[in-house]
């Protein structure tokens, strides 16, 4: 398949934003307990956090981590998770039909973010709670001292404020499954009043209103319009959540999932801009794509326990990812990057064990899923500005998205260092693609390296025993000559080419 690509610094979209490479830790299944936190593990630090997982988080290149949920946050009482651990209550977590022991709370999590060198993104409960509890948590976290809750934080062992900048005003309040689910108007009002009051404590917070939980939800579009009509002046970002999976026998649609993400981002941007026009405001609302991933939600492992069974940290949503899943994850990163003018933050959901790139055995090994690699490479090599590429390739027919391009790509260019990175996927299930990349707008570029993640069996999955048989490998076909890069990439593949 011939693919013609042109890279030109004139096609600048926006800067590469480090917050594009965020992730998410929810009190769900084994993400916190036996995931990031496992006091029985040989590498555990003083708080019980696994240092091997912290190392993998750093290697993954994660910038921000959203916490503590997710659906969990809509029934969470943050006060349960502070103070002496032995005195903390166990609570029913209705969202995941589990028992929450509250061993880890906001102070421990904040120490974990420091160890992992990531920025926190804190969510407040707007499901069962409201303005007052959001203010209480903000006071506890960000006020220096001299008030009841800031002094409580100090008494609990954190003399300096946590200084959390990004706050999510609830989670998926459009979803009928959400505890405290609301109409767009009800939520828009609550988000506006919560934001307004939070800014009375700290005006410079970056506040994220809940957008839609997916394009397919019936309120999509209208939800954003109404919420922003109520809250536009008070918030900075609106969230977007999307999960993709391969329906039996429809690999073609699955590989084109990024077209749906493109549509999601462009629709929300258009809606936010329409509200802006109507309100005659200069300020723009940006997108926090703070849950995205491949997730096989209809499989048994995604169903919470039922009845009298309320386990602590059950195995939930522990999807095993194959090579095709990793290619889709790479393509979703391409979509996020090419919208870096409007997508100012994003979070891969989630970080450990729960639909995650990092897996752990309780007390034992940690290992990388296939999806670890495209994220780690993009986070490491995307630098400078994002360049939209001109891409010419044949299309194929998909059941879900109509005609889709057989390949997709985005580039980044760091004008200071002269480094260029090209990220590309081949969506064909049976044919290699020959990328012919016109580099003449950046004279003198030479090849640094090229790598490909693929496997003749695209259903190959990593395991704890073998997480490295299928890694990004050097692609020896890459060559630069006459201002063109030429590289052959196999079917169902994720590819990175670096030039300087
Ligand atoms: O990430 C898993 C769940 O997906 C989150 O708890 C929720 O916000 C979304 O529906």
CA of 146 to the centre of ligand 1 (A): 37
Pocket lining: 172 vs ligand 1, CB cutoff 6 Å: yes
388 CA distance to ligand 1 middle (Å) = 30
pLDDT interval class at 11 (50, 70, 90):
very high
pLDDT tens digits along 304-354: 999 999 999 999 999 999 999 999 999 999 999 999 999 999 999 999 999
Q: How far is CA 181 from the centre of its chain?
A: 23
Q: What is the reported pLDDT for 201?
A: 98
Tell me the mean pLDDT in the region 462-481. Answer: 96
Lookup: tokens for 452: 């490909």
Model confidence at 271: pLDDT above 80: yes
Two structure tokens written together for 344: 């100012």
Calculate mean pLDDT across residues 172-182: 98
pLDDT tens profile 112-171: 999 999 999 999 999 999 999 999 999 999 999 999 999 999 999 999 999 999 999 999
pLDDT tier for residue 300 given thresholds of 50, 70 and 90: confident
* CATH fold for domain 17-381: TIM Barrel (3.20.20)
Q: Whose CA is nearest to atom 4 of ligand 1?
A: 70
Angle at 38 between CA 34 and CA 41, to 5 degrees: 115
pLDDT digits (tens, 9 = 90+) for 394-418: 999 999 999 999 999 999 999 999 9
Q: Is the pLDDT of residue 301 over 80?
A: no
Considering the chain, tell me which residue range(s) the CATH 2.60.40.1180 domain(s) occupy. Answer: 387-499
User: CB of 29 closer than 6 A to ligand 1?
Assistant: no
Q: Is 224 a catalytic residue?
A: no
Buried/exposed 10-35: b ≥16 CB within 10 Å, e otherwise: ebbbbebbebbbbbbbbbbbbbbbbb
pLDDT (average), residues 262-267: 98
Nearest CA to ligand 1 atom 2: 70
Q: What percent of the chain has pLDDT over 90?
A: 98
* Structure confidence at residue 9 (pLDDT): 97
Whether pLDDT at 278 is above 80: yes
pLDDT at 27 over 90: yes
Q: For the chain, give percent helix, strand, coil, nearest 5.
A: 30, 25, 45
Mean pLDDT of 237-253: 96
Rounded Cα–Cα distance for residues 182 and 185 (Å): 8
Ranges in the chain annotated CATH 3.20.20.80: 17-381
Mean pLDDT rounded to a whole number for the chain: 97
Q: Which atom in ligand 1 lies closest to the alpha carbon of residue 241?
A: 9
Query: What CATH architecture does domain 387-499 belong to?
Result: Sandwich (2.60)
Other CB atoms within a 10 A radius of the CB of residue 146 amount to: 8
pLDDT at 298 over 90: no
Given a cut of 90, whether residue 299 has pLDDT beyond it is no
Ligand 1 atom nearest to 69, measured from its CA: 6
Here the ipTM equals 0.99
Mean pLDDT computed over 442-470: 97
Q: Does 70 sit in the ligand 1 pocket, CB within 6 Å?
A: yes
* pTM (two decimals): 0.98
Whole-number Å distance, alpha carbon 161 to ligand 1 midpoint, is 29
100 is catalytic: no
Among 71, 93, 173, 176, name the best residue to mutate to test ligand 1's pocket (greatest count of ligand atoms within 8 A of Cβ).
71
How far from the centroid of its chain's Cα atoms is residue 28's Cα? 16
Rounded CA gap, 345 and 154, in Å? 31
DSSP letter string, 65-113: EEES-SGGGGG--GGGGSS-GGGPPPEEETTTTEEE--SS-HHHHHHHH
Which residues, other chains included, contact 435 with Cβ-Cβ below 8 Å and sequence gap of 6+? 3, 5, 407, 409, 424, 485, 486, 487, 488, 489, 495
Kindly state the tokens that stand for 106: 């906001």
Burial 457-472 (b: 16+ CB within 10 A, else e): ebebbbeeeebeebeb
Task: Answer yes or no: are the C-beta atoms of 165 and 119 closer than 8 Å.
Answer: yes
Q: Which atom of ligand 1 is nearest the CA belonging to 350?
A: 1
Q: Is 290 in the pocket of ligand 1 (CB under 6 A)?
A: no
Protein residue with least CA distance to atom 7, ligand 1: 70
69 lines ligand 1 (CB under 6 A): yes
Q: Give pLDDT tens digits for 66-103.
A: 999 999 999 999 999 999 999 999 999 999 999 999 99
Ligand 1 centroid – CA 243 distance (Å): 9
Query: What's the CA-to-centroid distance between 292 and ligand 1, angstroms?
Result: 9
Q: Which residue's alpha carbon is nearest to atom 9 within ligand 1?
A: 70
Instruction: Label residue 467 by pLDDT band (50, 70, 90).
Output: very high
- Which residue lies with its CA nearest to atom 5 of ligand 1? 70
Q: How far is the CA of 328 from the centre of ligand 1 (A)?
A: 19
The protein residue with its alpha carbon nearest to ligand 1, atom 1, reads 349
Closest CA to 215 of 244, 248, 195: 244
Task: Give, for ligand 1, the residue of 125, 172, 245, 304 to mutate: max count of ligand atoms closer than 8 Å to Cβ.
Answer: 172
Secondary structure letter of residue 203 according to DSSP: T
Mean pLDDT, rounded, for 47-54: 98
- Listed in sequence order, the DSSP H helices in 143-236 are 148-155, 184-201, 222-231
Comparing CA positions, the residue from 314, 300, 368, 398 lying closest to residue 34 is 314
Q: How confident is the model at residue 43 (pLDDT cuts 50, 70, 90)?
A: very high
The answer to whether the CB of 22 is under 6 A from ligand 1 is no
- Length of the chain in residues, anyone? 500
Structure confidence at residue 214 as a pLDDT band (50, 70, 90): very high
Q: Is the pLDDT of residue 421 over 90?
A: yes
- Percentage with pLDDT > 70 across the chain: 100
Catalytic option among 172, 224, 230, 246: 172
- Which pLDDT score is estimated for 302? 79
């Amino acid at each position: 398949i011939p693919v013609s690509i042109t890279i030109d610094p004139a096609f600048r979209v926006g800067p590469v934003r480090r917050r594009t490479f965020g992730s998410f830790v929810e009190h769900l299944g084994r993400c916190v307990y036996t995931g990031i936190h496992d006091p029985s593990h040989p590498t555990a630090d003083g708080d019980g956090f696994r240092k091997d997982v912290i190392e993998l988080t750093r290697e993954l290149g994660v910038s921000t981590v959203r916490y503590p949920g997710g659906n969990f946050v809509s029934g969470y009482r943050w006060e349960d998770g502070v103070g002496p651990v032995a005195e903390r209550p166990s609570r029913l977590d209705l969202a995941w039909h589990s028992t929450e022991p509250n061993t880890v709370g906001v102070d421990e999590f904040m120490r974990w973010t420091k160890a992992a060198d990531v920025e926190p993104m804190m969510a407040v409960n707007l499901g069962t709670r409201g303005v007052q509890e959001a203010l209480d948590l903000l006071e506890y976290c960000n006020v220096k001292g001299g008030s009841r809750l800031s002094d409580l934080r100090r008494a609990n062992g954190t003399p300096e404020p946590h200084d959390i900048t990004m706050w999510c005003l609830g989670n998926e309040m459009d979803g009928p499954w959400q505890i405290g689910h609301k109409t767009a108007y009800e939520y828009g009002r609550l988000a506006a009043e919560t934001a307004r009051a939070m800014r009375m404590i700290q005006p410079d917070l970056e506040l994220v209103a809940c957008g839609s939980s997916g394009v397919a939800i019936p309120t999509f579009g209208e939800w954003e319009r109404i919420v922003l009509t109520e809250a536009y002046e008070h918030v900075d970002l609106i969230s977007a959540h999307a999960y993709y999976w391969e329906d039996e026998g429809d690999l073609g649609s699955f590989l084109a999932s990024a077209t749906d993400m493109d549509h999601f981002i462009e629709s929300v941007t258009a809606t936010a801009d329409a509200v802006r026009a109507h309100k005659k405001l200069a300020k723009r609302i940006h997108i926090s794509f703070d849950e995205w991933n491949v997730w096989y939600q209809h499989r048994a492992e995604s169903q919470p326990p039922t009845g009298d069974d309320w386990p602590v940290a059950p195995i939930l949503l522990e999807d095993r990812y194959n090579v095709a899943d990793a290619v889709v994850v790479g393509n979703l990163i391409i979509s996020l990057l090419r919208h870096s003018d409007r997508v100012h933050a994003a979070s891969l959901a989630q970080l450990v064990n729960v639909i995650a790139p990092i897996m752990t055995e309780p007390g034992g090994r940690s290992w990388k899923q296939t999806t670890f690699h495209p994220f780690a490479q993009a986070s490491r090599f995307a630098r400078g500005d994002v360049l939209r590429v001109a891409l010419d390739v044949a299309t194929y027919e998909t059941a879900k998205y109509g005609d889709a391009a057989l390949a997709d790509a985005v580039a980044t260019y760091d004008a200071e260092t002269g480094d260029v990175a090209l990220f590309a996927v081949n969506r064909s299930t049976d044919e290699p693609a020959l990328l012919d990349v016109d580099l003449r707008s950046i004279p003198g570029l030479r090849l640094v390296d090229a790598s490909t993640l693929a496997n003749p069996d695209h259903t190959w999955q990593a395991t704890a025993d073998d997480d490295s048989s299928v890694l990004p490998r050097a692609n020896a076909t890459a060559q630069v000559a006459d201002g063109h890069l030429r590289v052959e990439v196999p079917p169902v593949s994720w590819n990175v080419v670096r030039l300087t």
